[in-house]
């Protein structure tokens, strides 16, 4: 039965929008350990918007706040303006209530402070019925 359950588990398509290599490395490891994840990466918000605009379909978008070219808030606003309803989770090393509020006002569904951990990722996946 365990094999059948694993075979039935669908692939979760995740777009990680992050400019810092250490945070990408950590997220890659956590998502790989979660299993069943197809990961795409964008180095900044503009690249993320381009990927979504060009037809990238994702089950979850994890985005940093502060990045070169376009930050996570603006990327979230532009992705929402495209009519995309995919869950977007804002990530930031700044964990003040104002940081979370700014992401939510931009259109994100959730916010979690960095660093990403197994527990935080598990909570995110469960919150959006992806686990």
On the 0-12 / 13-18 / 19+ scale of CB atoms within 10 A, 63 is: buried
Per-domain residue ranges of the chain? 11-127
Q: What is the pLDDT of residues 73-123, one digit of tens each?
A: 999 999 999 999 999 999 998 777 888 999 999 999 999 999 999 999 999
Nearest-CA neighbor of 18 among 80, 53, 59, 61? 61
The model carries a pTM of 0.91
Q: What is the mean pLDDT of residues 34-45?
A: 94
- Helices 72-81 and 97-106: angle between axes, nearest 10 degrees: 30
What was the pLDDT predicted at 97? Answer: 85
User: Which pair of tokens denotes residue 40?
Assistant: 């795409």
The CATH class that applies to domain 11-127 reads alpha beta
What was the pLDDT predicted at 56? Answer: 86
Please say whether the beta carbons of 67 and 18 come within 8 A. yes
Nearest-CA neighbor of 52 among 31, 91, 82? 82
């Amino acid at each position: 039965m365990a094999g059948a359950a694993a075979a039935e588990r669908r692939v979760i398509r995740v777009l990680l929008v992050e400019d810092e290599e250490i945070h990408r490395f950590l997220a890659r490891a956590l998502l790989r350990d979660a299993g069943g994840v197809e990961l795409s990466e964008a180095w900044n918000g503009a690249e993320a918007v381009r990927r979504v605009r060009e037809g990238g379909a994702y089950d979850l978008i994890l985005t940093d706040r502060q990045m070169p070219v376009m930050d996570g808030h603006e990327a979230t606003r532009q992705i929402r303006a495209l009519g995309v309803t995919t869950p977007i989770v804002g990530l930031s090393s700044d964990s003040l209530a104002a940081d979370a509020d700014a992401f939510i006002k931009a259109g994100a569904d959730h916010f979690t402070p960095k660093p990403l951990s197994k527990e935080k990722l598990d909570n995110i996946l469960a919150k959006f019925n992806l686990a």
